[in-house]
Chain A
């Protein structure tokens, strides 16, 4: 009798705890997803909370793959990676998400682009035929990753294509390597495209220098020319590292907008050169300034410091550094500070920069010098 009574109590406890567990999990799944979606860098308490939330979600029986994929929309970049881990776990272990569901998600361009690319890879990694069919219709996809693959796919199929077909691929391309490749293909069929213009490189500059950077410790030294330019009132001449110096006008003919500062300033080492330009746009526009530079550099747009990297000779490429900016209607003043150190190695002699203006996808915006 006592045993039976005890057993009933235990049973009641199990029933109750089961219900409570179900209730609390159902409620906190949403909270846990919110915790992951909102995590920001540099917050260790949030990191610990995210680890706890991820553990809970990882063990949740009722969490659905599509729920996690949809939660990526609007999540912070870091939060999306936490969710990505869960999505991979669910995709691997669950057959709850059917292929039609995933395909529908992939086709829904309102969903998070990175989530959609993840799904695209799941669906097509082992199915090249399906991948090809998808990519044929994805040249203009808002996901830059999908677009990149679609352009690569189109390039592969472009042998014997007409100039118009090649031009369409070029118009779709956003990644610099693909743009360059398509311009070469067009050239082969007799169509010349101005690469620096197509990519939005600024080619005309006024440069002044050299200013002292011996010891590579003048990155944050504010020379008069910098202050004056930011105020909008520059002088014709300034006192430089080797005496008086004046502005030099230069238009680069480099297809990639490279301004060879070393050549213009006699391979000066331990120095700083400023490059300035004005671009005019008909109306205010949100866009990006993107810089490739193997030397330490700062970039100001309309007086606001938007890029600063005190790094010398560790690689350079188009779009190495990017920052969102807002250009105002009319004139916009851009100033670049390029610093060279005193390394003597052959690989440490480059002193150059390239700068372009484009939208967030990498498509050049239109402006007038």
Chain B
């Protein structure tokens, strides 16, 4: 993290860009100065300044950012991050900061520059849906936004209306909720657009709670809204929220998130899975690229690892994406079964969580390499993340199992406890891990 280099100091930035105009003003009649200043301020230069300001403050993605559910490439891994083994507990060891956020969340946080951004839902029936940004450096609140859920906000008590993880394209943040409200703000939290998909498609929804996290690619925000009512995947313009395309999907409940896959020809496709199929579509227009009648899991999501697509289907199924056309099956292993967490790929291994057992497989063959029981874990919803040679896996009750991956077999080197429920997958940026608990946001880093 380099927060000092990416400060959102708006006054400083304005001042920097107002130097040249001031030099121009000095050359004209002094009696006109004030008026001209005012005119300039309110017209051409005002617009120029805004343009420059937005240019400076908007930023493209940074390799250290964690801009979506499961981070860069949705791999859930950072090769370079170094996180502490031990944290939390009564002494709050290596807890750099912790902030309480009103309401509840079942999603994860994202990191964009020096901002940690997350959602929450609170008030009556969790109808108030919020998007909040904190300084990664010190946990200070930077901005917050809120809307009112226009779809049904109901969900299982364990979940929350704020269940999907938000996503950013480096210039904007897109927040999606179980109630099928979606909103876009810029990196200063200013509103860009809002849309109620539940108002557009009134039968969209699932009263257990929806949780599919959106993705953004090539200027299109992809939302997967699969349920027994209005069931669809759609591409929305990142600019204004207009619906660019929409494709009907099976009328069955589905909580999996779409994945972005870069094909060998360099083009991106979006892969969506359901209990009936696995389908790739082009982001711009939703045109099918290929479709496999492959019954997939409806909670864990797929992960693209280079030319391989690892799909939670029949345990795990690895598909070969290296050639054009329909992908072929590389391997299938039913013992690499994941009931809730999405698989994580790190190096030559793939990791899944089968209830309370961590299972490691060879990503090239699917062969089971080792299994590790996670003692005292009751329920696990949070997808694990890998930082360097450590895997971090939270149970719902706030236990974090730190598993060393550098030996022949996985070994729990530490079990930490934080005082929060954890349902979302952590975000990693620099040498810090940001954990969105149900009620707090935590920064874990060596102190």
Binding site for B on A (CB under 8 A): 7, 11, 14-15, 17-19, 21-22, 41-42, 44, 47-48, 50-52, 54-55, 58-59, 61, 77-78, 80-82, 84-86, 88-89, 92, 114, 117-118, 121, 125, 144-145, 148-149, 175, 309-312, 314-317, 320
Give Cα A338–Cα B128 distance, bound, in whole angstroms: 32
B321 in the interface, Cβ–Cβ < 8 Å? no
The majority secondary structure among interface residues of chain B is mixed
B229 in the interface, Cβ–Cβ < 8 Å? yes
B39 in the interface, Cβ–Cβ < 8 Å? yes
Give Cα A18–Cα B41 distance, bound, in whole angstroms: 9
Q: Is B193 touching A86 in the complex (CB atoms < 8 A)? A: no
Residues of chain B within 8 A of A320, CB atoms compared: 152, 154, 207
Q: Is A17 touching B192 in the complex (CB atoms < 8 A)? A: no
Q: Is A54 touching B193 in the complex (CB atoms < 8 A)? A: yes
The 10 closest A-B pairs by CB, nearest first: A85-B191, A315-B207, A51-B240, A41-B199, A18-B43, A18-B39, A44-B242, A148-B124, A81-B147, A51-B193
Give Cα A315–Cα B44 distance, bound, in whole angstroms: 56
Q: In the complex, how many angstroms separate the beta carbon of A298 from the nearest chain B beta carbon?
A: 13
Q: Is A47 touching B193 in the complex (CB atoms < 8 A)? A: yes
Q: Could you list 30 A-B pairs, sorted by A, with CB under 8 Å? A: A7-B28, A18-B40, A21-B46, A22-B42, A22-B43, A41-B200, A42-B199, A44-B242, A47-B193, A47-B242, A48-B240, A51-B239, A52-B240, A77-B148, A78-B150, A78-B199, A81-B148, A81-B150, A85-B185, A85-B190, A88-B145, A88-B189, A92-B189, A114-B148, A144-B124, A175-B124, A311-B206, A314-B228, A315-B156, A315-B209
Given known contacts A148-B124, A314-B206, A21 and B242 CB-to-CB distance under 8 angstroms: no
Residues of chain A within 8 A of B154, CB atoms compared: 315, 317, 320
B142 nearest CB neighbor, chain A only:
A92
A178 nearest CB neighbor, chain B only:
B124
B289 in the interface, Cβ–Cβ < 8 Å? no
Per-position 1/0 for B82-108, Cβ under 8 A of A: 000000000000000000001000000
Q: In the complex, how many angstroms separate the beta carbon of A306 from the nearest chain B beta carbon?
A: 14
Residues of chain A within 8 A of B232, CB atoms compared: none
Q: In the complex, how many angstroms separate the beta carbon of B135 from the nearest chain A beta carbon?
A: 15
B183 in the interface, Cβ–Cβ < 8 Å? yes
Residues of chain A within 8 A of B228, CB atoms compared: 310-312, 314
Given known contacts A11-B36, A14-B40, A42-B199, A117 and B193 CB-to-CB distance under 8 angstroms: no
Q: Is B191 touching A54 in the complex (CB atoms < 8 A)? A: yes
The majority secondary structure among interface residues of chain A is helix
Give Cα A51–Cα B155 distance, bound, in whole angstroms: 30
B34 in the interface, Cβ–Cβ < 8 Å? no
Give Cα A230–Cα B8 distance, bound, in whole angstroms: 64
Give Cα A224–Cα B199 distance, bound, in whole angstroms: 34
Q: Is A11 touching B28 in the complex (CB atoms < 8 A)? A: yes
Q: Tell me the B160-206 residues at the A interface (CB within 8 Å).
A: 181, 183, 185, 189-196, 199-200, 203, 206
Q: In the complex, how many angstroms separate the beta carbon of A13 from the nearest chain B beta carbon?
A: 8
Q: In the complex, how many angstroms separate the beta carbon of A83 from the nearest chain B beta carbon?
A: 9
Residues of chain A within 8 A of B242, CB atoms compared: 44, 47-48, 51
Q: Is B102 touching A125 in the complex (CB atoms < 8 A)? A: yes
Q: Is A309 touching B43 in the complex (CB atoms < 8 A)? A: no
Residues of chain B within 8 A of A21, CB atoms compared: 42-43, 46
Q: Is A41 touching B196 in the complex (CB atoms < 8 A)? A: yes
Given known contacts A42-B199, A88-B144, A175-B124, A81 and B42 CB-to-CB distance under 8 angstroms: no
Per-position 1/0 for B27-67, Cβ under 8 A of A: 01000100110111011101000100000000000000000
Q: In the complex, how many angstroms separate the beta carbon of B69 from the nearest chain A beta carbon?
A: 22
B209 nearest CB neighbor, chain A only:
A315
